[in-house]
Amino acid sequence: MTSTTPPLPSLFLSHGSPMTALEPGEAGAFWQRLGPALDAAFGRPRAILAISAHSLTREPVLLAAPRHEAVHDFGGFPSALYQLRYDTPGAPELAQQAQALLAQAGIPAHRLAQGGLDHGIWTPLRWMFPQADVPVLPLAYVPTHSPAEQFALGQALAPLAAEGVLVLGTGSITHNLRLLGRLHGTPRSGDAELPESAAFRGWMHERATARDWPALFDYRAQAPHAALMHPTDEHLLPWHAAAGAGGRQAVPLRLHASVTFGALGMDAYAFGPGAARLAAQLQAPTASAM
C-alpha cells in the first residue's frame, strides 16, 4: 500500500452451504472477483485474521499453527467435497500481535500452536485466493458475548488493517436451516426468498447504511423476524466483529446481496475507510471481467 492508500477494509462474508466450494453460484462468482479486487486496490494482504461462526470457544483463542489444512466439518455431502483441500500458511507472529492488541483492550485471549480452517473460512477463501498463498490466523470467538462485545473485539484489532492484515468475519446474514426447503420439502438453490428473510436483510442494510449502531447491537429486539432468521446468534456475530474492526465513522457498504434456498442470505459487507475504494474497484471494468 502507498501512503495515500487507505487501510484495508474489514469484511463480512456470508459463507453459505459447504457446497459453494464446488458450486459457487452468485456468491462464489462475487468471491472470485473480490480477491483480485483487493489485490488491485490494496495489494495482496499479508495475512488474514478470520473470525468464523464455526470456531467457537469459551474465551477467545488464536490458532497460531505454522500451517493450516481445510477441515471438513460437515456431513452428508457428495464425496467430491471431502476431496477438496485448502492448505495455507499460518501466522504465528501475527497471533502474538493480535493477542497483545486484545490484551490492551482488556480482552484476554489464548494462543495455541494448533491449526485448521473450518468451512466458513476455507470455502470463500478457495475462490478469493485459489493459490492458498495468504497466511491465515483463525480467531475462535465467544458466541455468548453480545453484539456490542463482538464490536469491541473487532475494534481492538483495527490497527492491523494499516499493516496489510485483512480482518474477515464469516457467518451468514440470515441463518435458520429449518426454513430451507419450506416451500417444497427439499431445499432448492433457486427457491424464491421468503418475505421474512428479505425483511431482515433489508433492515440490516438500512440500519448499517445509517450507522445506527445501537439498533444493530440490539438487533434481536429491533430487527423484523430476528429470532426466526437467527434462532441463535453465532452466524451474525462475526458481522459485528468485522464492523468493529472498520470503526464507527465510515458507512458500512453492502458489496453483494443474494439468497440461496429461499432463506440463506449470502450478503457481503465491507467496513472502514477503505470500503469505498474496494467497492469502486469491484465496479471497475477490469474487476468485472475477472
How confident is the chain (290 residues) per 10-residue block, as mean pLDDT? 76 92 92 97 97 95 96 86 94 97 97 95 97 97 97 98 97 88 53 92 98 98 97 97 97 96 93 97 68
pLDDT computed for residue 261 by the predictor: 85
pLDDT computed for residue 76 by the predictor: 81
The C-alpha atoms of residue 137 and residue 114 are separated, in whole angstroms, by 10
pLDDT computed for residue 178 by the predictor: 80
pLDDT computed for residue 181 by the predictor: 53
pLDDT computed for residue 182 by the predictor: 54
pLDDT computed for residue 234 by the predictor: 95
What is each CA distance from 257 to 94, 127, 203, in whole angstroms? 32, 17, 13
pLDDT computed for residue 161 by the predictor: 97
Q: What is the pTM of this model?
A: 0.93
Q: Does CATH place domain 10-194+231-288 in 3.30.200.20?
A: no
Instruction: Indicate the domain borders of the chain.
Output: 10-194+231-288
